[in-house]
Amino acid sequence: MTKICCVCSKVEEDGDWITDCVTSATKRFTHGYCPACYDDVMEDLGRIVNMRNSVRPPVVQGVSNYDIADVCA
Ligand SMILES: [Zn+2]
């Protein structure tokens, strides 16, 4: 089965990723990422994870479980 990059559509042939303009209809493909697109995706993913980790939920000052229990009682 031939590997094809789902981003740039390059195909892997003999360990190299090439632009294959003439794809055979008889070839069977499995989708993945070529090394360049993989690096791009991982970089974007790392940026998203860092962005999410930097956003913290607001801390409510002065409220304890005891205060909430008093209100509910
Ligand atoms: Zn690619």
Each residue's pLDDT tens digit, 32-51: 999 999 999 999 999 999 98
Least confident of 10-19, 20-29, 33-42, 64-73: 64-73
Query: So what's the pLDDT on residue 36?
Result: 97
Distance from C-alpha of 64 to C-alpha of 62, rounded to nearest angstrom: 6
By the CB criterion, residues less than 5 angstroms from ion ligand 1 are: 5, 7-8, 34, 37
Class of residue 11 by CB neighbours under 10 A (exposed 0-12, middle 13-18, buried 19+): middle
Output the pTM of the full model: 0.62
* d(CA 26, ligand 1 centre) in Å: 22
